[in-house]
Amino acid sequence: MNLLSLSGNLLLTSFILYLISTGFFAVATSGKKGPSRSGKIAFSLAIVGFAAQLGYFFTRWAGAGHVPVSNLYEYTTFFGMMMVLGFLIVYGIYRNNVLGLVAMPVALLVIAYASMFPDEVQPLIPALQSVWLKIHVTTAALGEGILAVSFATGLLYLIHATDFNKESKTRTWLEVVMFSLVCVVGYILVGLLFNGLGTNSTIEYVAKNGATMQHEYTMPVLTGPENGKIISGSGAVIELPNFLNANKVNTVLWSLIGGLVLYILLRFVILRKRLAESLKPIARKIDLETADEISYRAIAIGLPVFILGGLIFAMIWAQMAWSRYWGWDPKEVWALITMLFYVFYLHMRIQRGWIGKKSAWLCVGGFAVIMFNLVFVNLVVAGLHSYA
Amino acid sequence: MMQQEYKQLDMRYEEAELRSKRKNQSWIDRTWTFFSSVKVGLWLIGLIIIASGVGTIFPQEMYIPQAVPPEEFYGKEYGTAGEIYYALGFHNLFESWWYIGLITLLLLSIIIVSIDRFFPLYRALKKQPVIQSDRFMGGQRFGAEATGTVKQIDAIEPLLKKKGYKIRRQDGALLAEKQRFGRWGPYINHIGLVLFFGGAMLRIVPGMHEDELMWIREGETLPVEATDNKYYLENNSFNIEFYDPAKEPEKFREALKRAGGSVPKNYDTQMTLYKKTGMTEDFKPKLEKVKSGETAVNQPFEFGNYQVFQEQYAADPEFKTMSFNIENQKTGKVVDTIKVDLRNPQETYKLKNGYDVELKDFLPDFVVKDGKPTTNSSRPVNPAFVFTIKSPEHPKGERSLIGIKLNVGGDENQYKMGFAGTELSNISGVRIKKDLTLPFLFAGGMIFMVGLLLGMYWPHRRLWLKERNGQINIAGFTNKNALGLQKEVNLALTEVGLPQLEDRQKLREEGEMK
Ligand code: HEM
């Protein structure tokens, strides 16, 4: 077995361990209060899973010959790993099982999402051949991983604090957050389904600059380019103007459809209540005070790490590779926005008394900013960092 | 009991008076108050967040293709939305006066707010009494009361000392304090931030910053304008290497196939640096070699305060020389060969045996416009030549036009020119940089980070104990990590037989919820 396939197996192992660990966290929270054995088992499994994922990371490093954070597959997987690490650190301090039941699934979702990208190793272009690449990307991802813990606790806080029998903005928006998470699951399931079915299509079109380009679809074509010519597979239902990437819009549409189907199933057939509401019995087990405190600490610990990795090391690298430490590239701008957002949170909190609900919403918003930078800026807004 | 009447004190500035909170304000005071308002500062941060986000919807002007003028690009590429984007100036957001204005206001706000709060806070902490009022102690978030004696307070002193607390005593009462410096964290990080941005602004000071993109052909020596032409750079050779799917290890094949075109592996320029020492009589610079070296991506070539970055390269190399054979069409014999240096073509080329070639016209970038041959640019990308070949048989010369895949008017001639090879030359795009502001930015960044870490990882903790009439009053303060304070202090309290700290805020909230 060569290193790269060993690495793939280790990743799969860690994924399964995380899943089982989540199961044990569920058992641990369903029981009565107090320290429980299942909680300890869950935590140990998460640690072993993390060790396996570290194994994935280093074997892939050895196999590829460079640190595996240089394309979307590698980076997103690494980010998931750092979310687990962030959770492990915080769990080490607070020993809260409920947190595991929310943080682990979110990390699992991120790792599963990563698996949707092409996973082959690639050689590095000259700009990426730098030690600062390792330092910058890993530190930034670690910072984001720790910050993500505040999303889990923020969400728990909101669910705990919301009365689902009364109509309220919080109730509505919480459901929007849950739906977004379900859409990610939808994207993954739809992707796997169509991969299995092999529904590939290729459509040729003429781009704005006159060049002939092709879209390679892996999902059935709903939206296609203007005046597209079908090379293989099926044609489009709707044609879109060419400044929109019809292939990406198509994927987003399918994810929404998948998410919607899943959501309707969960909401009206399986759980028969709002998804957020169905988490309430779990969320009630963490007291508001603790949820609020953990959020704040996760940000207090995570933000300096993120600023160091995502901004300072990034600037040092940019200075070496492109002769300017700052170039207003979309990815850079969104790293700045991430920092400013959490700075806003800290000041609101200590200076204007935004504690509790408002502060929990900011935690959820901060995670949305991080995910926006990971998903949209990479896939939609092209820039220097665009791995796609 | 205590917790019924508990009303938490605002401990942020130890109840010190802030200038911005004074009544009867003059206009200076009012401006001061405006900028030291955290509300205003947060509005500024919010606006910067939103503006920056909008600035990434479409690419900024510096990232659009240079061939298209921006006024057309946005409309053409993104429709009406793009036109609006352009009209509102978002295409150049980060250099717009109002974006820079927002940042400037933010900095002003940070400076003023820090001054407003630092000095009162500093004074308050410096002269804090050991014995605090009941109101003060009851207003702390953490506290407890119990019957006890001064002996217990004496006993806890060494325990707290061991945990790193500094102890002060007065009339039996005790104040234990730890990591006060953590309180200065925010001020240090604000200063760092100001220094960082101040450093970035130093760019406008003449001499602090030079930035020049230079295109140098192989073999060429050019003056570096960024050094006031005091230095010259020669491109000895430019090398580029692409990943070759056939040669790279198996594992990379899939990704290289997906990438389609050529993925560069490495590119670098070997260069020599010269210093101008004067002028020769015919006004050419006298150059003295300083050093040779290489610049590659991530590895700039350095001299003095300057760095030379390998930034770009021309996609198509230029022709450097072209060689031609002068052939007798009848016999097929080659008379001689000439080599034309395209950067420096000669007017006549003397050949063996009395033959001569005159270069009548040189068109570096040949096109036919309105039926006439002409040149598109001065770059030798598609060179064409009009030659006259003078031979013993034809002393007046025979004309021919020759270029790439082009040979006109030579058919009836006795002598013709035939291609005998070319030499290509790469063009390297290097960026010359001098940035004396970097040390300020670096210092600012470091100070910012130190302040951030101090403020975030070193919470300021205090514990007060006092005894009156057999009653012990305990109060605790921390600006972060409540759990940490409780853990640390409760151990010591229990050991001397005193009750643990209560979180009064939590008790009150739970009381309210029931
Ligand atoms: C990008 C800009 C800024 C950054 C990175 C920044 C950073 C920070 C940080 C990390 C803290 C400590 C927070 C905590 O302990 O939870 C802090 C505190 C503070 N900041 Fe800022 N800040 C910025 C802008 C501002 C602005 C614009 C204002 C007001 C107008 C402001 C006012 C304050 C105040 C009053 C404190 C509390 C100081 C204390 O605890 O004594 N900051 N800042």
Q: How far is B44 from chain A (nearest CA, A)?
A: 10
Q: Are B188 and B451 in contact (CB under 8 A)?
A: yes
Instruction: Establish if A321 belongs to a structural domain.
Output: no
Assess whether B147 and B243 both reside in one domain: no
The tally of CA atoms less than 13 A away on the side-chain side of residue B272 is: 13
Last residue of a domain, one of B127, B158, B192: B127
**Partner residues linked to B167 by β-bridges:** B176
The pLDDT, as a whole number, for residue B35 is: 80
Instruction: Establish if A257 belongs to a structural domain.
Output: yes
Enclosing domain of residue B261: 209-317+428-443
Assess whether B308 and B432 both reside in one domain: yes
User: What CA–CA distance (Å, rounded) separates B443 from B438?
Assistant: 8
The pLDDT, as a whole number, for residue B364 is: 83
Instruction: Establish if A359 belongs to a structural domain.
Output: no
Find the CATH number of the domain harbouring B135.
3.30.310
Assess whether B173 and B95 both reside in one domain: no
Cα dist from A384 to A234, B227, B454, whole Å: 33, 30, 34
Instruction: Establish if B233 belongs to a structural domain.
Output: yes
Instruction: Establish if A37 belongs to a structural domain.
Output: no
Q: How far is A8 from chain B (nearest CA, A)?
A: 14
The pLDDT, as a whole number, for residue A295 is: 92
Q: Categorize the per-residue pLDDT at A388 as very low, low, confident or very high, splitting at 50, 70 and 90.
A: very low
User: What CA–CA distance (Å, rounded) separates B104 from B107?
Assistant: 5
Phi, psi of A134 (to 5 degrees): -60, -50
Task: Please report, for chain B, how many H helices and E strands are present, in that order.
Answer: 11, 24
Pocket lining: B110 vs ligand 1, CB cutoff 6 Å: yes
Q: What is the largest CA-CA distance in chain B?
A: 133
Instruction: Establish if A342 belongs to a structural domain.
Output: no
**Residue A84 clears pLDDT 90, i.e. is over it:** yes
CA of B179 to the centre of ligand 1 (A): 19
- pLDDT tens digits along B57-74: 888 887 777 777 878 888
If you average pLDDT over residues B133-151, what whole number do you get? Answer: 86
Range in A233-242, A259-268, B296-305 with the lowest mean pLDDT:
A233-242
If you average pLDDT over residues B421-450, what whole number do you get? Answer: 90
* Mutation probe of ligand 1 site: the residue of B34, B113, B119, B477 with most atoms within 8 A of C-beta: B113
Pocket lining: A304 vs ligand 1, CB cutoff 6 Å: no
Buried b (16+ CB within 10 A) or exposed e, A138-160: bbbbbbbbbbbbbbbbbbbbbbb
* Atom 27 of ligand 1: nearest residue by CA position: B41
- pLDDT tens digits along B503-514: 887 777 666 655
Pocket lining: A95 vs ligand 1, CB cutoff 6 Å: no
Residues 6 or more apart whose CB falls under 8 angstroms from that of A186 comprise A255, A256, A257, A258, A259, A260, A261, A262
Chain A neighbors of B453, CB-CB under 8 A: 304
CA of B476 to the centre of ligand 1 (A): 24
The pLDDT, as a whole number, for residue B512 is: 63
**Residue B278 clears pLDDT 50, i.e. is over it:** yes
If you average pLDDT over residues B82-106, what whole number do you get? Answer: 87
Q: Which of residues 85-124 of A touch B (CB under 8 A)?
A: 93-94, 118, 120-123
The pLDDT, as a whole number, for residue A131 is: 85
Assess whether B74 and B113 both reside in one domain: yes
Q: Categorize the per-residue pLDDT at B455 as very low, low, confident or very high, splitting at 50, 70 and 90.
A: very high
> Which residue of A123, A329, A347 is in closest CB contact with B265?
A123
> Which residue of B94, B298, B441 is in closest CB contact with A126?
B298
- Kindly calculate the radius of gyration of chain A based on its CA atoms and give it in whole angstroms: 22
User: What CA–CA distance (Å, rounded) separates A191 from A332?
Assistant: 30
Cβ pair B483:A341 closer than 8 A? no
Cβ pair A120:B79 closer than 8 A? no
Instruction: Establish if B6 belongs to a structural domain.
Output: no
Structure tokens given for A246: 């019809």
User: What CA–CA distance (Å, rounded) separates B459 from B481?
Assistant: 7
The pLDDT, as a whole number, for residue A224 is: 80
The pLDDT, as a whole number, for residue A31 is: 67
> Which residue of A129, A307, A343 is in closest CB contact with B45?
A343
Calculate ∠ Cα B287-B293-B295, nearest 5°: 115
Q: Categorize the per-residue pLDDT at A313 as very low, low, confident or very high, splitting at 50, 70 and 90.
A: very high
The tally of CA atoms less than 13 A away on the side-chain side of residue A47 is: 11
The pLDDT, as a whole number, for residue A56 is: 93
Pocket lining: B41 vs ligand 1, CB cutoff 6 Å: yes
- pLDDT tens digits along B201-247: 888 888 888 888 888 888 888 888 888 888 998 888 888 888 887 77
CA of A344 to the centre of ligand 1 (A): 9
Assess whether B241 and B367 both reside in one domain: no
Secondary structure of chain A in the HEC alphabet? CCHHHHHHHHHHHHHHHHHHHHHHHHHHHHCCCCCCHHHHHHHHHHHHHHHHHHHHHHHHHHHHCCCCCCCHHHHHHHHHHHHHHHHHHHHHHHCCHHHHHHHHHHHHHHHHHHCCCCCCCCCCCHHHCCHHHHHHHHHHHHHHHHHHHHHHHHHHHHHHHCCCCCCCHHHHHHHHHHHHHHHHHHHHHHHHHHHHHCCCEEEEEECCCCCEEEEEECCCCCEEECCCEEEECCCCCEEECCCCCHHHHHHHHHHHHHHHHHHHHHHHHHCCCCHHHHCHHHHCCCCHHHHHHHHHHHHHHHHHHHHHHHHHHHHHHHHHHHCCCCCCCHHHHHHHHHHHHHHHHHHHHHHHCCCCHHHHHHHHHHHHHHHHHHHHHHHCCCCCCCCC
- pLDDT tens digits along B359-372: 888 888 888 888 78
Cα dist from B4 to A319, A355, B132, B421, B511, whole Å: 59, 22, 20, 99, 10
Instruction: Establish if B464 belongs to a structural domain.
Output: yes
Buried b (16+ CB within 10 A) or exposed e, B473-483: bbbbbbbbbbe
The pLDDT, as a whole number, for residue A288 is: 85
**Residue A336 clears pLDDT 90, i.e. is over it:** yes
Residue A350 alpha carbon, nearest atom of ligand 1: 16
* Atom 8 of ligand 1: nearest residue by CA position: B186
User: What CA–CA distance (Å, rounded) separates A116 from A193?
Assistant: 12
Range in A125-129, B129-133, B298-302, B428-432 with the lowest mean pLDDT:
A125-129
Assess whether B391 and B345 both reside in one domain: yes
Instruction: Establish if B5 belongs to a structural domain.
Output: no
* Atom 17 of ligand 1: nearest residue by CA position: B186
Q: Are A148 and A99 in contact (CB under 8 A)?
A: no
Instruction: Establish if B14 belongs to a structural domain.
Output: no
**Residue B21 clears pLDDT 50, i.e. is over it:** yes
Q: Categorize the per-residue pLDDT at A380 as very low, low, confident or very high, splitting at 50, 70 and 90.
A: low
Cβ pair B248:A123 closer than 8 A? yes
The pLDDT, as a whole number, for residue A385 is: 45
**Residue B115 clears pLDDT 70, i.e. is over it:** yes
Enclosing domain of residue A236: 166-273
Q: What is the tally of structural domains in chain A?
A: 1
The pLDDT, as a whole number, for residue A37 is: 83
Assess whether B135 and B104 both reside in one domain: no
Instruction: Establish if B196 belongs to a structural domain.
Output: no
Give the pTM. 0.87
**Residue B3 clears pLDDT 50, i.e. is over it:** no
Instruction: Establish if A14 belongs to a structural domain.
Output: no
Q: Which of residues 146-205 of A touch B (CB under 8 A)?
A: none
The pLDDT, as a whole number, for residue A384 is: 42
- pLDDT tens digits along B36-49: 888 888 999 999 99
User: What CA–CA distance (Å, rounded) separates A111 from A19?
Assistant: 11
**Residue A383 clears pLDDT 50, i.e. is over it:** no
CA of B123 to the centre of ligand 1 (A): 20
If you average pLDDT over residues A207-236, what whole number do you get? Answer: 76
Cβ pair A312:B449 closer than 8 A? yes
Interface with chain B: mutation pick from A6, A121, A242, A323, highest number of B CBs within 10 Å: A323
If you average pLDDT over residues A84-95, what whole number do you get? Answer: 90
Buried b (16+ CB within 10 A) or exposed e, B346-377: eeebebeeebebebeebbbebeeeeeebebee
Assess whether B303 and B439 both reside in one domain: yes
> Which residue of B38, B263, B480 is in closest CB contact with A125?
B263
Q: Categorize the per-residue pLDDT at A386 as very low, low, confident or very high, splitting at 50, 70 and 90.
A: very low
Range in A334-338, B361-365, B442-446 with the lowest mean pLDDT:
B361-365
If you average pLDDT over residues B169-191, what whole number do you get? Answer: 92
Where is mean pLDDT largest: A118-122, B22-26, B272-276? B272-276
- pLDDT tens digits along A125-160: 887 888 888 899 999 999 999 999 999 999 999 998
Assess whether B70 and B155 both reside in one domain: no
Q: What is the tally of structural domains in chain B?
A: 4
The pLDDT, as a whole number, for residue A34 is: 52
**Residue B150 clears pLDDT 60, i.e. is over it:** yes
Range in A301-305, B171-175, B373-377 with the lowest mean pLDDT:
B373-377
Instruction: Establish if A181 belongs to a structural domain.
Output: yes
Cα dist from B83 to A58, A154, B76, B79, B86, whole Å: 49, 40, 8, 7, 5
Interface with chain B: mutation pick from A337, A338, A345, A376, highest number of B CBs within 10 Å: A337
Assess whether B286 and B348 both reside in one domain: no
Instruction: Establish if B92 belongs to a structural domain.
Output: yes
> Which residue of A293, A328, A348 is in closest CB contact with B94?
A328
Q: B185-201 and B438-457 helices cross at what angle (nearest 10)?
A: 160
DSSP at B470:
T
